[in-house]
């Protein structure tokens, strides 16, 4: 299997690293080798956060260089655009349409410009409201929707059952709404 490179992008407090770790555990349970690199940016709620996850039979390093990522999973629109130079030609973008304004800055109307940027440079980018799809699973559901959409992407190397198992392990008897959000995300295939 060729190495499959995934970038997670968002801001502090959204669970970017947690979502990447959950997917990494699912990949390990599927027999893949993984390397995970987290960049905590300002290391505060609202600061830039990203994670690089590389999956294959054997992975040597964790960093994903410019033009190497196959998939970008965005929890926040501005951070998704910020990480987009790492995408390979033909890569897939799945992102929540929320803009969380940086502390001390007001960026009015930027969400439309960010969506237009993604659609222009990454045809087929899926920009959607993950909050609506998350239902009553809250912030955990947003991540589950994005992981569900990723798992339905052509060539995605981790089976949904492995991700669902990790969700059950992490959330125990509260996994129901999160699993429902994951299923709704899987239903986004092709949208």
Each of the 191 residues of the chain gets a pLDDT tens digit; together they read 799 999 999 998 898 999 999 999 999 999 999 999 987 665 566 688 999 999 999 998 888 999 999 999 999 999 999 999 999 999 999 999 988 876 545 566 677 888 888 888 888 888 899 999 999 998 889 999 999 999 999 999 999 999 999 999 999 999 999 999 999 999 986 44
The β-bridge relationship of strands 4-11 and 33-39 is unpaired
Is 120 part of any domain? yes
Domain of residue 28: give its range: 4-186
Residue 30 lies in a domain: yes
pLDDT value of residue 101: 72
Look up the CATH number of the domain holding residue 182: 3.40.920.10
Q: Where are the alpha helices (DSSP H) in the chain?
A: 16-29, 77-83, 110-121, 130-134, 138-151, 160-171, 175-186
Say what the pTM is.
Answer: 0.84
User: Are the C-beta atoms of 178 and 136 separated by less than 8 Å?
Assistant: no
- 56 close to 24: Cβ distance less than 8 angstroms: no
C-alpha count within 13 angstroms, C-beta hemisphere, residue 51? 24
The predicted structure's pLDDT at residue 133: 94
- The answer to whether position 56 is within a domain reads yes
What pLDDT score was predicted for residue 167?
96
How many Å apart are CA 115 and CA 119, to the nearest integer?
Answer: 6
User: What is the rounded distance in angstroms from the CA atom of residue 54 to the CA atom of residue 33?
Assistant: 8
- In a domain? residue 191: no
Is residue 102 within 8 Å of 150, Cβ to Cβ?
A: no
Split into its structural domains, the chain has a count of: 1
Q: At which residue do the structure tokens 């801001």 appear?
A: 11
Helix axes 160-171, 175-186, angle to 10 degrees: 160
φ and ψ of 18, to 5 deg: -60, -45
E-state strands within 25-142: 33-39, 48-56, 69-74, 87-96, 126-128
Whether 178 is in a domain gets the answer yes
Identify whether 18 is part of a domain.
Answer: yes
Unique residue bearing structure tokens 């970008």: 72
| Residue 181 falls inside a structural domain | yes
């Amino acid at each position: 299997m060729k190495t499959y490179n995934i970038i997670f992008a968002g801001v502090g407090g959204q669970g970017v690293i947690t979502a990447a770790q959950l997917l990494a555990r699912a990949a390990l349970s599927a027999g893949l080798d993984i390397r995970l690199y987290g960049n905590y940016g300002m290391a505060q709620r609202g600061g830039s956060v990203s994670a690089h996850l590389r999956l294959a039979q054997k992975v040597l390093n964790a960093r994903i260089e410019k033009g190497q990522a196959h998939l970008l999973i965005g929890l926040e629109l501005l951070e998704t655009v910020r990480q987009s130079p790492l995408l390979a030609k033909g890569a897939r973008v799945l992102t929540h349409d929320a803009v969380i304004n940086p502390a001390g800055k007001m960026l009015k109307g930027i969400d439309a410009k960010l969506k237009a940027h993604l659609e222009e440079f990454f045809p087929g980018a899926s920009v959607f409201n993950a909050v609506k799809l998350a239902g009553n699973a809250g912030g955990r559901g947003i991540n589950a929707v994005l992981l569900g959409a990723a798992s339905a992407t052509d060539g995605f190397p981790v089976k949904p059952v492995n991700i669902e198992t990790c969700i059950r392990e992490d959330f125990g008897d509260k996994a129901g709404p999160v699993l429902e959000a994951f299923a709704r995300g899987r239903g986004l295939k092709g949208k």
